[in-house]
Structure 1
Amino acid sequence: MTRISRQELFEKVWAAPVSKVAAEFGLSDNGLRKICGRHDIPLPSRGYWAQVHAGRVFPRPTLRQVKHSSLEEVAFEGAPLPPLVVAALTEAKERLAAVVPKSPEQKAVEVPPSAIADDAPQFAECELSDSSAEHPKLLPTRKALVRAKPDGRGFVHAEGRGVLPVVVGPQSIERMLDWLGQFLRFAETQGARLDRKEERAIFIVDEEEIAFRIEEKPERTPHTPTSAQLAEKAKWGHIYSASWTPWPKYDHSPSGKLSLVIEVHGASGLRSTFSETATRSLADMSGDFLAACIARAALIKDNRRKAEIARMEAEAAQRRQERVKAFEQREERRERFVELIADKLQERARLCAVLEHAEQPSAEESERLDTMVAWVRRRLAELDALLSPTFLDISARYAKVDFDEARAAARPTEPSWYYPRAIELQLWRIDEEAGNAHSQSPYEWRRDRGLIADVEERRGTAAGED
């Protein structure tokens, strides 16, 4: 909802035509005029802007005070139209006002209710004149109208492949087709056309699909009960309430007043219905209707542009989240690798303290203490190897822990099925000739360096001595 002050709206309607201000708020001209009337805002008279453009200067009226303070604020339902749509609508109205053809006056056909009486003949055999001037793309619509049978209210419905959706009375068919043919020929001069689709006919404006239909407003008249209905009420009226009647309150029949309806989903802020009145026919609304279709096409493009921007922003946000998540995972693995090094350094410091204590001069010597000292020395040698720059580098590369963030971030993202390798400090046997390294267990590493004897060799030696 948009809210502006009464003074602001007064300044707007005296700075630009009502049609332009109305388009800014997504209203029709009459809709804005009604709002200004409710808030006691004076409007320029008809022809005011033409005289202003001709060079005449008029004094601006003053805005009178209102009795109720609630009228000082004007609220408009919905969001204002995008500037591009307002500009497209204003430009189309100004351009079409000068080029729209002036058709002969066509008054709405008044259909008396008696023409749709219960015993009136049906229009299944209705013959329509085949005008050679009729637009060729309207032939499917004409054929559908000829085949259609009036419903219970007297309307015929046209729908199907290549057919423009129409709901009109039989008496309005020719008038509707004549106007529609003239309108389509004029629209084609403005770059619009009627296109045949699988489900229906679609109006193409600025290469955007605009779905519209033509409807005839029903005339509502009080129902006159038949003798059979009166007899039914007399028979069953004592059972039901006194107000019960076995007939409808009103009859509905074609009124001869047609409406153009642009089909939209949800509120858009643009006018979507153009209905004939006692003083305005379809021909009088041709320019406004085409301008509304042009604005609708501009709105579709603007919505598509916004949707594309939103999609790109969502994708960018998703990529940022993925980058942040990948960075946090790399940092977590780096911290884990450094923690392992710190743990091994603490272990080494503890073993050094034990070794220093065990090697103090003592009056007594113990064979078991000597073997413990030897084990501590082997463990220290193993820790020195694990913590050596060469082994740390190999262990980090094997676990894919890279402390160079720029290099790590430039690598391709791991696939979803990839399970990262465990982070651990390992002992390695380096093959200089082959240029590779193989991980070793502590037993294998100590054995290869002669720090411990192989179990199998010991067993062989013991068996030989026996």
Structure 2
Amino acid sequence: MVTREELYRLIWAMPMTKVSTQLGISYGKLVQICTAMGVPRPAQGHWARLELGKVDPVPPLPAAVEGQPTTWTGNGTPLPKPNPAARAPRKKAITGNKTPPAMHTLLRGTKAQFLNSRPTRDDGFLRPYKRAMPDLRTTSEALDRGLLLANALYNNFEEAGHHVVLSGLNSAARRLQVDPREAPIKGRQYDPYPQPWRPDRPTLVQTEGVSIGLIVLEMTEHVNMRYTNNGFVRDSPELAARLERSHGSGWTTFEDVPSGRLRIVAYAADSGVDWSQSWQESEDQTAPLSPETIVKAVLAQKRQLLEMAEEAARRAELRHRAWLEEQEKCRRREDERNIAKSYEESLAALQSAIQRWSRVMDIEQFFSQAEQRAATLPSKAQTNVLERVSLARNLIGRQDPLDLLREWKAPAEIYKPLYADSADIVQQRTRRNL
């Protein structure tokens, strides 16, 4: 059971999304209960303004009028419709002397684009269709606070003389893989599937000599979830007791769910520089995050980041030289293999030509000796032998041994070496093996 006074204190102590979770009801149901019981609610953006140090006046709890419920039992009984006469008169917004900070160019019009999201998964994080967006990841409930915090952060960098932009399409800047868990569990690696939404280009602070990436995200917390008729909701002793009274305890499981608290991450966008720093809200934190302090802390690391970037460039140059040397060695080894192969092919062709030359010479010697012997025979026998020699020559055909030499190719004609010294080495090796 919750009284008007208890509900009033809860509503003004924490965001209504957390109150609805604690009571085990939906946000819309909580709004209906507040309206029926005449409990004033914070205006939209109240908690975001509070984070930035702008305190809205808290209206007092009006006295209950006749017929208005003063308690909510949580047993599912429909609430009576509120009496129109009991409604408090609408108050005009109190405007302060200070004008709200101008919206940074990267953030203008982005709220609607963030809300134009694919269906959210169980975690509730927005997954906008557009990906050329500032690096911001929150739920719809925390979007306003995230935009205000990012705006204050970007504007403070601009005031310090450093523009905040999206990286170019062909930029080599990398985006840091961030673990959104508020308190990572030891031994439990962060490897989500499917991968969470991320912009296609990192958000960068333009500083001389080094690029600094910025991420604003809503963290997750590992909490016990209890299954009810409305799905999984955060478990609490009140919820467990209420379900037990209704003979339906529901089963529980631990899940990483949005915490409503934000984190700012600054990191070196150069893949060779291993540096990152984060600032995050905590459950017991009294003061909000200070973008001005964060900007000063980041810019104070500029000299160190420049030194780290120079060292990374030096290491990259050494790696590049080593790679070039290895490529040169590979080319030389490949060149020697091709030269050796050309020598083998040329030598094999030459040996084949020599063997064929010997056979042609043997055949020619056979016919020459036959013609010489035929010259010593009588006229009729001589004619017969010479006719047989002519038939044999026609059968074999004329063969010029020089044709074999003309068809042969030297090693340099088969493959042209890339390195002269490699050709000399292979030639000496081949001669030793002959």
Do both proteins adopt the same fold according to a TM-score greater than 0.5, normalized to the shorter chain?
no
TM-score, length-scaled by structure 1 = 0.40
TM-score, length-scaled by structure 2 = 0.43
Instruction: Give the number of the structure whose residues are more often helix, by fraction.
Output: 1
